[in-house]
Amino acid sequence: MSPIPSTPANDSDNSKAKPKKLPWWIYFVDITDAVPPLLFMAAMVLWNKSDSAKAFYAELFKNFPGKEELADQMLNVITGDVVLKWFWGTSAAFALLDLFQWPKFLYAYRIQSKPPPTASYFFKIAVMNFLSSLFIMGPVSKYVMYPIWQWRGGMENLKTIPTAWQSVKEFLIMEAWFEFWLYTSHRIMHLPALYKLTHKRHHVHHNPFTVANFYSTPFEQIFQNNLSGLGALLLPAHPSTMWFFSAYRYLETATSHSGYAIPFSTNAIFHNYHHRMFEGNYGIHAGIPFMDLICGTSHEYFQWRYKYAMTHHWLTNRPIKDAASDVVKELDVEGVDLGGA
């Protein structure tokens, strides 16, 4: 295992330099990252209005007539199934892309110059994460978070199909809470007194990959991951809104750690920068990193992003010319051994 640097990879003199004024458009250069949540909201509204949804709910209500068993099925079983398919399905797809470097047109969007993890290392981390989800986040969700949703009156509207306005409103509130809490909890765990105990484990991967998202301490899994869903419980949100929001969120968390900048998805450039520099970019990037912009923790990133934008085609993320400096490679630092040569 290679040593993990204790300081950011950027030059100390540059980090102290006066911030350069940037053009306004650079803050919107990744606005296409907003496409996934918009698509999931649209799919949610269309699904709830469809005959298929009505038939699905009718069958569900018939098979689980009691509120308790219906709530358990809708929240714990179906939501768990959504997470399983979207996160692990996306992770498996990116793992195959890394291992076989096919299809080539997608592999071309890889932004990390170091080799991807080997199959054995990927499998090792995947198993560890699956077990931690099964024995830590899963039980906390079922025995702590679920009762909060019940206490807030979540069972009152179980046998109704939410309107378009209700589902979109819930989705947006859940997203706002998620962004606020992810940013806040992330910054707290980066405090020097807490970092080694709570968050350092996640940062051993300077070139993150999909399942490395949940490679973290039990404290982080509960404090950040479980509590990021608190907004849905306090609303309380309808289970169907949670299904679509969970699908989007787990897709986003996989793609943001994937090491790929695929157009019209949550590309990994924003979060990959955080894993390389250890500071800044604490929040999420769904088109615009609101919390980082409000709190002033993304300016150095946007200075770097401006340089990237000047040397790479918009959308393709490929160098404009062969002689263009690959600014992604500037961020390469030593991390853990991923099993490669």
**Token output for 78:** 């179906």
Cis peptide before 37 (omega within 30 of 0): no
- Is 1 part of any domain? no
Nearest to 201, CA basis, from 291, 98, 132 = 132
Count the domains in the chain: 1
Q: How far is Cα 165 from Cα 160, in angstroms, rounded to an integer?
A: 14
What is the residue whose two structure tokens read 């102290």? Answer: 16
User: What does the pLDDT read at residue 326?
Assistant: 47
User: What does the pLDDT read at residue 322?
Assistant: 41
Task: Assess contact for 207 and 335: CB atoms under 8 A.
Answer: yes
- DSSP-derived letter for residue 162 is P
- Is 11 part of any domain? no
Cis peptide before 115 (omega within 30 of 0): no
> Amino acid identity of 254?
A
- Is 207 part of any domain? yes
Residues of the chain with pLDDT under 50: 1-16, 321-328, 333-341
Angle, vertex CA 314, rays to CA 309 and CA 320, nearest 5: 70
Nearest to 9, CA basis, from 338, 335, 268 = 335
Number of residues that this document lists for the chain: 341
- Is 146 part of any domain? yes
Q: Classify 341 as helix, strand or coil.
A: coil
- Is 244 part of any domain? yes
With the CA atoms of 112, 101, 340 and 282 taken in that order, what torsion angle do they form, in degrees rounded to the nearest 10? Answer: 30
User: What does the pLDDT read at residue 76?
Assistant: 79
Task: Assess contact for 111 and 269: CB atoms under 8 A.
Answer: yes
Task: Assess contact for 29 and 269: CB atoms under 8 A.
Answer: no
Q: How far is Cα 259 from Cα 94, in angstroms, rounded to an integer?
A: 9
- Is 100 part of any domain? yes
Q: Classify 260 as helix, strand or coil.
A: strand
Q: How far is Cα 180 from Cα 166, in angstroms, rounded to an integer?
A: 21
Q: Render the burial of 186-217: b for 16+ CB within 10 Å, e for the rest.
A: bbebbeeeeeeebbbebbebbbbbbbbbbbbb
221 conformational bin, left if phi > 0, alpha if psi -120 to 50, beta if neither: alpha
What burial class does residue 262 get, using C-beta atoms within 10 Å of its C-beta: 0-12 exposed, 13-18 middle, 19+ buried?
Answer: buried
Domain with 66 in it:
22-331
The whole-model pTM stands at: 0.87
> Amino acid identity of 338?
L
User: What does the pLDDT read at residue 320?
Assistant: 56
- Is 213 part of any domain? yes
Task: Assess contact for 291 and 183: CB atoms under 8 A.
Answer: yes
- Is 249 part of any domain? yes
- DSSP-derived letter for residue 115 is P
